Each structure stands twice: as C-alpha cells, then as structure tokens.
C-alpha cells in the first residue's frame, strides 16, 4: 500500500474512532451529529498535518514513553478541534479531553489491529 493510501486510511480510522467516542458517555457533549462529524474531520486534519512534525521535533521518545507523548498530543489536538467547532462542550473540563484521548488511542489500536496493514509511522 502506498504511503498516501495509508495516510488516507489513518484519516478515515481517526474520524470513525472519534464518532464512536462522541457516542460514549466520556464527558464530551456535541449538539448534533453534523457538528460531531465536523469536529472529527477537523481533528483528523490537524492530526494528519501536525502529528508528524510534533513527533519529530517534540519531546524525545527517550525521555517520555511514546504512548504518553501520543496521549498528550491527542489531548491537545482534541482541545484545539473542540475550540474551533461551536457546539462542542466538555462536561468535566480537561479530564474529558484526557479520557477521550485515551479512548481514542484504544479504539484506534483496536481498529488498526483488525486492518490487514499497519498505520504509517513517521
């Protein structure tokens, strides 16, 4: 599979994962399904654009385990996407974002384990 196809599949998996998370009682309130989809798309775009750069120039993986670094980055990106989209509210403040970022990591891992290939590593 080419690199662009793998990035596109990762983009779709992220959108599907977030739509699943928005239906779970994890502290995020979305006004309607359209705003949830828009938030998921914005998050996936921000993730696709910024994550490779943040992973390369950010915290060293020798200092911080990559899973913890990924959780922090997903929390920040989710907060940014929520800030951009009106109708996106957090019931428990930062804890909602941390819980949802953890759930995103778990659901992404489950979906990628079902797929016949591994996600793109930068």
Task: Determine the pLDDT at residue 43.
Answer: 83
Inform me whether the pLDDT recorded for 61 exceeds 70: no
- pLDDT tens-place string over residues 12-56: 888 888 888 888 888 888 888 888 888 888 888 887 777 666 666
Q: Which residues of 48-78 are buried (b: 16+ CB within 10 A; e: fewer)?
A: eeebeebbeeeeeeeeeeeeebbbbbbbebb
Return the structure tokens found at 70: 């990924």
pLDDT band at residue 122 using 50, 70 and 90 as cut-offs? very low
Q: Is the pLDDT of residue 77 over 60?
A: yes
Per-domain residue ranges of the chain: 3-114
């Amino acid at each position: 599979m080419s690199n662009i196809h793998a990035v596109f599949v990762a983009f779709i998996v992220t959108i599907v994962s977030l739509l699943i998370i928005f239906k779970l009682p994890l502290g995020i309130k979305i006004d309607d399904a359209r705003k949830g989809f828009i938030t998921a798309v914005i998050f996936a775009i921000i993730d696709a654009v910024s994550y490779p750069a943040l992973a390369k120039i950010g915290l060293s993986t020798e200092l911080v385990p990559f899973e913890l670094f990924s959780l922090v980055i997903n929390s920040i990106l989710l907060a940014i996407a929520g800030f951009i989209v009106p109708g996106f509210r957090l019931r428990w403040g930062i804890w909602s974002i941390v819980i949802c970022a953890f759930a995103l990591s778990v659901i992404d891992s489950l979906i990628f384990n079902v797929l016949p290939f591994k996600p793109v590593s930068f």
